[in-house]
Amino acid sequence: MLNGPAGAEALPKGEIFEVLRNQRRRYVLQYLKQDGRAVELGDLAQQVAAWEYETTLEEVTPAQRKRVYTTLQQTHLPKMDESGILSFDSDRGIIESTTRTQDISIYLEIVPGREFAWRELYLSLGAISCALVAALWGEVYPLTNLSDLTWMTVIAVTFTATAAAHIYYERNMRLGHGEQPPELSYSADD
């Protein structure tokens, strides 16, 4: 569960996922985490529209901006404010981060449709390493041409390099990392 402001009740994971299952709401969090300060609804709507329509801020049409502005104001921001994930002052049109905004990445993992299956890679590396150790123990030729220490080094370097790649990938998939949401960054790299 995610703790809110002092004295507030913890927010159940199910409610967090319900609020954040919408892409537009994730874009709101991306913008808040990236900027780190209070933002005006108009600026937020402009940026979210640019991400949604895959265009620049300058090329967002008034109709696109208004469509995003309206749904943010009437639906998305009030829902996020009600759960404490952000603070939305509807009278002034100001959106601010809360402690829950900063903690939300613990619960929100961006998982694109074609995410690399890291657990399967680690399982495969483990199985190959076990087979290699068994073959070395049975003194299978040509594996015996290299020393056991060399093979241990190969295994260690392989696992370390894979873990480093995994960490790099995960950091790039966090909300607030980079100039656009991870979903857009990921699809742009395809």
Q: Is the pLDDT of residue 170 over 60?
A: yes
The CATH code that applies to domain 13-110 is 1.10.10
Residues 26 and 48: their CA atoms lie apart, in Å, by 10
Q: Is the pLDDT of residue 108 over 70?
A: no
The per-residue pLDDT for range 28-38, each reduced to its tens digit, is: 988 888 777 89
pLDDT reported for residue 92: 93
Burial class (CB in 10 A: 0-12, 13-18, 19+), 92: exposed
Domain ranges of the chain: 13-110, 118-172
Higher-confidence residue: 173 or 147? Answer: 147
Three-state secondary structure string covering the chain: CECCCCCCCCECHHHHHHHHCCHHHHHHHHHHHHHCCCEEHHHHHHHHHHHHCCCCCCCCCHHHHHHHHHHHHHHHHHHHHHHCCEEEECCCCEEEECHHHHHHHHCCCCCCCCCCCHHHHHHHHHHHHHHHHHHHHCCCCCHHHCCHHHHHHHHHHHHHHHHHHHHHHHHHCCCCCCCCCHHHHHHHHC
pLDDT reported for residue 173: 62
Residues 77 and 85: their CA atoms lie apart, in Å, by 9
Is the peptide bond between 62 and the residue preceding it cis, with omega within 30 degrees of 0? no
**Average pLDDT score over the chain:** 81
pLDDT reported for residue 116: 63
The per-residue pLDDT for range 28-70, each reduced to its tens digit, is: 988 888 777 899 999 999 999 999 999 999 999 999 999 999 9
